[in-house]
Amino acid sequence: MRNAHDNELTLIVINLRDSYMGFKKNKRDYMKINTSMPERLEPFFLKEIETANRYFSINDFGSSWHHLERAHIIGQPYPYHHTLVHWKMFQFGIKRKDIREIVGQIPRLLVGGVKSFVGEIPVGNTGGANVKPLKSMEICAELNKIIEENK
């Protein structure tokens, strides 16, 4: 025989389950799950990665890093692309013998893709160890236009 306490406990369990699974009452409250980058957006992402690699190969590290940050902003909502940029940033840190960047990228590599998958990212964050991992930042008009027109 069930009592009021059992009913209360059942409601708590259902609410926890629904919250964990992303079920909410309002459509706007649903958790957004990202899996892959839109085909129209991927060329912009790849261009930033290629440009970063090219600048790095000629020892223009400032320009290389700038394009890694741009790639991070574009790829951040998408788990694979987000993780790839953090891997590139980790490699950048190793090649430059930058301990702060190496250490700063490790937690980002472990958690960044997961946060992208569930849509919990600090929009506009440039991804480097010089920026707090959960800090949202303004996206420049040019990148914002690319993202908005190609998502």
Domain contains 37: no
Residue 19 above 70 pLDDT?
no
Residue 133 lies in a domain: yes
Q: Judge if 24 and 75 occupy the same domain.
A: no
Highest mean pLDDT among 4-8, 30-34, 117-121, 125-129: 125-129
Phi/psi for 140 (5° steps) reads: -60, 155
Residue 36 located in a structural domain: no
Q: At residue 26, does pLDDT exceed 90? A: no
By CB atoms closer than 10 A (0-12, 13-18, 19+), residue 3 is exposed
56: left (phi over 0), alpha (psi -120 to 50) or beta: alpha
H helix intervals, 22-135: 42-57, 61-75, 79-95, 99-117
pLDDT for 35 equals: 79
Residue-number span of the structural domain to which 55 is assigned: 42-150
Region 108-130: mean pLDDT is 91
Would you say residue 35 lies in a domain?
A: no
Same domain assignment for residues 23 and 48: no
Provide the 10 A C-beta neighbour count for residue 70.
Answer: 25
- Report the percent of the chain where pLDDT is more than 90: 68
Q: Are residues 77 and 57 in the same domain?
A: yes
In this structure, are 125 and 62 located in the same domain? yes
Within-domain flag for 24: yes
**Residue (of 68, 26, 66, 36) closest to 49 by Cα position:** 68
**pLDDT average, residue stretch 19-25:** 46
Comparison of pLDDT for 118 and 100, the residue scoring more: 100
Amino acid at residue number 49: I
Do 3 and 67 lie in one domain? The reply is no
Q: Verify that 49 and 88 share a domain, yes or no.
A: yes
Spacing of C-alpha 7 from chain mean position = 40
For position 32, what pLDDT does the model report? 59
What pLDDT, on the 0 to 100 scale, is given for residue 29? 41
136 falls within a domain? yes
Provide mean pLDDT across the span 30-39. Answer: 74
Give residue-wise pLDDT tens across range 40-99.
Answer: 999 999 999 999 999 999 999 999 999 999 999 999 999 999 999 999 999 999 999 999
Give the count of domains, the chain. Answer: 2
Distance CA 68, CA 76 (A): 11
* Rounded Cα distance, 3 and 6, in Å: 5
Task: Let me know whether 78 and 141 are in one domain.
Answer: yes
